Amino acid sequence: MTTTEEQAVALKNEGNKAFAAHDWVTAIDCYTKAIELNPNEPTYYSNRAQANIKSEAYGYAIADATKAIELNPNFVKAYYRRAVAYTAILKSRDALRDFKTVVKKAPNDKDAKLKLAECEKIIKKVEFFRAIEIGDEPSAAEGLDLDSMVVEADYDGARIDKKMTPEFITDMLERFKNGKKIHKKYVYQIILAVKKIVYDEATMVEIDIEDDSQLTVCGDTHGQFFDLMELFRLNGLPSEKHHYLFNGDFVDRGSWSTEIALLLYAYKWLRPSSFFINRGNHETDDMNRVYGFEGECKAKYNERVFKLFSESFSALPLATLIGKKYLVLHGGLFSDDKVTLDDIRKLNRHNQRQPGQAGLMMEMLWTDPQTEPGRGPSKRGVGMQFGPDITKRFCENNGLDAIIRSHEVRMEGYEEEHDGKCITVFSAPKYCDSTENKGAYINIGPDYKLKFHKFDAVPHPNIKPMAYANNSLMSMT
């Protein structure tokens, strides 16, 4: 007869197998069961911390690594994993403290020394940006004379005159598929045109679906351009009668973020009243500096392109209300039950370019659902979590059928939670080439019924996710 400890070891081994298969959910479940049988074994917490890192539950990872350290203060791997989790949520000073501990306890660990140096560099960079941040910084468009900017005669792509055309988008798609770029004059034109369009939109865009139309809601695409092409192949390109809404996090992590951002913006310019974009937590400066979009803009175009994108991101709407039935926003609900749709309508997003650490904007971009009633601390370490009772009250108070949100991987590409009142849709299949999830999108017709569609990842050129991230620390996550 096996002992409790032997059963725990067997569960840990099952968890390790699931982890190796990139099935983070099963791995976490196995490690949790092992912990229930033997709560005094630090390895189980450390292993679960790593699985939580992989599933972006950085707050849980920090708690697990901390418990492992309590049980064994010399457990170097636990300090290392906690440092990585802190890095992921941009708590670089906490990460630095842990990396210093790792180097002290394992002086021959070359990788830890590299990570420590990288962490010190990040802190200096963050402090530099804080020091130069001023409220009335001039726009990156200042001094940009597009009229006199010449597109060379040997440029072999379609051209923009004064407005976007379907022909330009078709040509741009082919260029991007073949690893080509568009001329930087057109990049500037697209971003500036869309910044003006979205700046004038409401913080919560309100739309109805006409009798002969349909709307497709897409979740995170995270720079996975070739998977977005597959979504369009299966579901059709945007058109006057086929509207699209992209619910944030279209940049960072994946290495074709500029291609996706320019494509979505080109469609927004072409079809301003039938193509919609919500802001996500990755359409923000601090995330872009760590997770690759800033580096990609500089590598493919220049720093000014990143700054213009940054200005346009801060102008994006934060939510879309569909037929007064569905509120679509990137993260989720609020720490206060009194928040209404009117509060979102009144929110002046132009007074606050970045979401900060608290408030309505931060919660709209960062929060997540949980199965337990009430509210709880965030598994991410940022924002908070809300239960089915919170969702039910919010929907009842605001006359909604459901909220639709994104922000989290779902293995089937989507999930209906909270008695169907909280729906998550995620459109980046095989996320970061490391999670065996499907992608999904939702089609909504004039009857306002939700039709879910799943799709698989497709091959892409051999460029890894995070290829443009400006630090090696994020390769760990």
Residue that wins the pLDDT comparison between 59 and 129 = 59
Average pLDDT in the 371-375 region? 97
What percent of the chain is modeled with pLDDT above 90?
Answer: 77
Cβ neighbors of 20 (< 8 A, separation 6 or more) are none
- Per-residue pLDDT of 126-177, as tens digits, reads 665 555 455 567 888 888 888 889 999 999 999 998 899 999 999 999 999 9
Average pLDDT in the 376-392 region? 94
| HSE-up (13 A, CA, CB side) for residue 239 | 9
pLDDT of amino acid 398: 98
pLDDT of amino acid 135: 55
pTM of the model: 0.91
pLDDT at 418 over 50: yes
Instruction: Name beta bridge partners: 452.
Output: 442
pLDDT at 119 over 80: no
Q: Is the dihedral of CA 447, 452, 455, 460 positive or negative?
A: positive
pLDDT of amino acid 351: 84
pLDDT of amino acid 412: 97
Average pLDDT in the 374-397 region? 95
Least-confidence region, from 22-36, 47-61, 117-131, 404-418: 117-131
pLDDT at 477 over 50: no
Strand residue runs (E) in 104-238: 204-207, 214-218
What is the spatial distance between Cα 82 and Cα 118, in angstroms, rounded to a whole number?
A: 16
pLDDT of amino acid 1: 63
Q: Whats the size of the chain, residue-wise?
A: 477
pLDDT of amino acid 476: 44
| Amino acid (1-letter code) at residue 14 | E
Q: Across all residues in the chain, what is the average pLDDT?
A: 92
Residue that wins the pLDDT comparison between 304 and 120 = 304
Write out the DSSP string of 107-133.
TT-HHHHHHHHHHHHHHHHHHHHHHH-
For each of the domains in the chain, give its residue range(s) and CATH number, in order of start.
Answer: 4-132 (1.25.40.10), 166-476 (3.60.21.10)
What is the spatial distance between Cα 226 and Cα 236, in angstroms, rounded to a whole number?
A: 15
What is the spatial distance between Cα 96 and Cα 98, in angstroms, rounded to a whole number?
A: 5
Q: Out of 22, 183, 222, 282, which one is annotated catalytic?
A: 282
pLDDT of amino acid 228: 98
Q: Is 282 a catalytic residue?
A: yes
Average pLDDT in the 4-8 region? 91
Residue that wins the pLDDT comparison between 257 and 56 = 257
pLDDT at 435 over 50: yes
pLDDT of amino acid 173: 97
- Residue 188 pLDDT class (50, 70, 90 cuts): very high
- Residue 469 pLDDT class (50, 70, 90 cuts): confident
Token couple for 439: 């992608």
